[in-house]
């Protein structure tokens, strides 16, 4: 029995040492200037900066204010409800 236990302990020790001491693989090196998109779009990049606006009317503002979520009740009202 002790012989089997010694062999199992030796195998476990070797496996743990192998995992801890083996070098990790090097991460791949990628070219940051490489094109990753579809090839038909390679020369058609739009790098222009254009202004934009967000339309937010008063009707949308009022609708958002009406749809606000109510807060949770305080502990005082909860104690009345649960008879604490």
pLDDT digits (tens, 9 = 90+) for 33-80: 888 888 888 888 888 899 998 888 899 889 888 887 777 766 666 656
Give the C-alpha separation, 74 to 82, whole Å: 13
Question: What are the angstrom distances between the C-alpha of 32 and each of 14, 27, 29, 35, 60?
Answer: 41, 15, 9, 8, 43
Q: Where are the domains of the chain?
A: 52-84
Q: What is the dihedral of CA 73, 76, 80, 83, to 10 degrees?
A: 110
**What's the confidence (pLDDT) of residue 79?**
59
Q: How confident is the model at residue 82 (pLDDT cuts 50, 70, 90)?
A: low
**9-29 mean pLDDT:** 91
Question: Which of the four pLDDT bands, split at 50, 70 and 90, describes residue 15?
Answer: very high
pTM above 0.75, yes or no: no
């Amino acid at each position: 029995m002790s012989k089997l236990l010694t062999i199992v302990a030796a195998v476990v020790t070797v496996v743990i040492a192998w995992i801890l001491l083996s070098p990790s693989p090097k991460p791949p090196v990628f070219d940051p200037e490489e094109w990753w998109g579809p090839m038909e779009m390679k020369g058609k990049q739009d790098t222009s900066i254009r202004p934009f606006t967000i339309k937010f009317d008063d009707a949308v503002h009022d609708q958002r204010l009406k749809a606000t979520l109510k807060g949770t009740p305080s502990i005082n009202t909860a104690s009345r409800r649960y008879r604490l």
